[in-house]
């Protein structure tokens, strides 16, 4: 097997530049899908391959069980970032409890009771290091849902994973959101797009077709995904 050449390729540099600029603007790392969009790489597995190489070269650290678990150590110029936190330091950050309030289907929309996602008792929750969450969001805006289905597998969201949501009632194109279809009393987790007066709910699974909603008024945004907690086997 041919050995990988030492040094950074143009794609490595582009990813590192995006990681640095995104972190400065948002205060937290981008998702794999956002890196795909910026670098114009269509496959999340290819981006994951480059990220693993960057980790091997010491430019980033990765947390395998969270979607935005990318810690930038050095930028594309090889400059070590003093603000970067090690995995050990992240473990020492304050832990907060996010209420786990119900289930969300990543597949065909599924009927749920009209009383929202409140399936679990008030003491149910997931503990998360504060440093993994967006810096500007108060914890009162956050809640968690357990995912059922495989329509978002290419976005690294698998059956049984937990998504941490920020409460919003509007979404930008390309954001992963929990959607309530009010005329059907159904909910689903998908990428949101508003196009030509219609809503496209796009799965991240090449075997599944998008859901086209002719009347945008029936689409209620319940929240957008800010973190995915993967359930490791």
Q: What is the set of active-site residues?
A: 151, 190
Dihedral sign, Cα of residue 151, residue 165, residue 35, residue 94: negative
What's the CA gap between 224 and 233, in Å, rounded? 26
Q: Which two tokens stand for residue 112?
A: 């749920």
Q: Identify the DSSP state of 5.
A: P
Contact yes or no for 76/17 (Cβ under 8 A): yes
Cα–Cα distances in angstroms (integers) from residue 200 to residues 99, 166, 173, 197, 215, in the given order: 29, 21, 9, 10, 11
* Residue 134, CA atoms < 13 Å, CB-side half-sphere: 21
What's the CA gap between 169 and 151, in Å, rounded? 22
Contact yes or no for 180/220 (Cβ under 8 A): yes
Question: Which residue in this structure is represented by tokens 């693993």?
Answer: 52
What's the CA gap between 30 and 18, in Å, rounded? 9
**Cα 81 versus chain centre, distance:** 24
């Amino acid at each position: 097997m041919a050995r990988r050449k030492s040094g950074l390729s143009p794609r490595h540099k582009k990813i590192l530049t995006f990681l640095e600029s995104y972190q400065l603007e948002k205060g937290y790392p981008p998702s794999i899908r956002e890196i795909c969009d910026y670098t114009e790489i269509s496959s999340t597995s290819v981006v994951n391959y480059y990220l693993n190489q960057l980790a091997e070269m010491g430019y980033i650290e990765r947390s395998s069980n969270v979607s935005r678990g990318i810690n930038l150590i050095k930028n594309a110029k090889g400059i070590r970032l003093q603000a970067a936190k090690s995995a050990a330091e992240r473990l020492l950050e304050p832990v907060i409890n996010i209420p786990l309030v119900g289930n969300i289907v990543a597949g065909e929309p599924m009927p749920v009771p009209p009383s929202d996602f409140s399936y679990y008792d008030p003491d149910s929750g997931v503990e998360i290091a504060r440093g993994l969450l967006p810096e500007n969001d108060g914890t009162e805006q956050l809640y968690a849902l357990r995912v059922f289905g495989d329509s978002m597998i290419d976005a690294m969201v698998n059956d049984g994973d937990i998504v941490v949501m920020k409460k919003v009632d509007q979404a930008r194109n390309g954001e992963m959101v929990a959607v309530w279809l009010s005329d059907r009393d159904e909910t689903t987790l998908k990428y949101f797009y508003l196009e030509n007066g219609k809503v496209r709910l796009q799965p991240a699974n090449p075997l599944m077709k998008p859901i086209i909603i002719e009347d945008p008024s029936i689409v209620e945004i319940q929240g957008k995904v800010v973190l995915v907690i993967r359930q490791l086997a």
